[in-house]
């Protein structure tokens, strides 16, 4: 649970995860519901909501966890269409692509990246002034939903 709560704190997220429904398998974390908890056996491949994994001591949140976090209070930047497209292609976000900032914009902190429809596209590290409206990188991409496509391509 610790890596997850540490990550949530780093992004100023305020959601509650029921620890009794949390399961860890190898380096991966899953959140069950009551019904799944009664049914699940140890040899599962995937169960409930995949929350993320730890690798070399670092926690990598899943998009399901990021989306859950985005439903509540957390650091967020809203981006326009062009910045959205570049971000899901794996690129960083320039300050001029940001239309709104919610929560802390402190350099070095983490923030969710949201599109104009309020959907979470991933997250990144704040690298510059979010309000600058300039061509300077404001959010360094750490993880974006384009990864679903990249995973498919890697598999092929």
Partner 1 sequence: MTSMSGRDFFTRRYEQLGWRFKNVEPRQAIRINSAKGEKAGTVQRLAQRGVELEKIPFLEDGYWVMASRFSVGATSEYLVGLYSIQEAAAQIPATLFEDLKDTIALDACAAPGGKTVQLADLMQNAGAIIALDVDKRRLTVLSNQLERCHVRNTIVYCRDAREASKLRVKFDRILLDVPCSGNFAIDKAWFSRRTLRDVQENARAQREILAEAAQALRDDGEIVYSTCSLEPEEDELNVDWAIRNLGLKTVSIECHGEKALSNVLDRQLDPTVENARRIWPEQTQGFFVCKLTKQGQPS
- Residues in touch with partner 1 (CB under 8 A): 31, 33, 35-36, 39-41, 43-50, 62-64, 67, 84-85, 88, 115, 117, 119-121, 145-146, 148-149, 151-152, 155
Residue 115: closest CA among 88, 71, 86, 80:
80
> What are the CB-based long-range contacts (under 8 Å, 24+) for 40-48?
47/23, 48/21, 48/23
Q: How far is the CB of 106 from partner 1 (least distance, A)?
A: 27
Q: Three-state SS for 87?
A: helix
Q: How far is the CB of 118 from partner 1 (least distance, A)?
A: 10
Pick between residue 1 and residue 89 the one whose CB is nearest to partner 1: 89
Helix (H) / strand (E) element for 11: namely none
Pick between residue 29 and residue 128 the one whose CB is nearest to partner 1: 29
Cα distance between residue 32 and residue 37, in whole Å? 6
Pick between residue 9 and residue 33 the one whose CB is nearest to partner 1: 33
Please report, in angstroms and rounded to a whole number, the separation of the first and last CA atoms in the chain.
34
Q: How far is the CB of 129 from partner 1 (least distance, A)?
A: 26
Q: How far is the CB of 47 from partner 1 (least distance, A)?
A: 5
């Amino acid at each position: 649970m610790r890596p997850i709560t540490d990550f949530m704190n780093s992004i100023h997220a305020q959601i509650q995860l029921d620890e009794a429904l949390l399961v860890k398998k190898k380096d991966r974390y899953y959140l069950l519901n009551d019904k799944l908890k009664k049914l699940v056996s140890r040899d599962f491949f995937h169960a409930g909501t995949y929350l993320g994994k730890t690798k070399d001591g670092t926690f990598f949140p899943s998009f399901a966890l990021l989306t859950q976090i985005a439903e509540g209070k957390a650091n967020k930047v809203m981006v326009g269409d062009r910045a959205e497209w570049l971000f899901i292609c794996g690129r960083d976000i320039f300050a001029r692509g940001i239309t709104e900032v919610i929560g802390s914009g402190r350099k070095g902190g983490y923030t969710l990246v949201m599109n104009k429809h309020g959907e979470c596209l991933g997250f990144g590290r704040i690298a510059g002034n979010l309000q600058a409206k300039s061509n300077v990188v404001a959010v360094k991409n750490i993880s974006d939903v384009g990864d679903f496509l990249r995973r498919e391509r890697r598999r092929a």
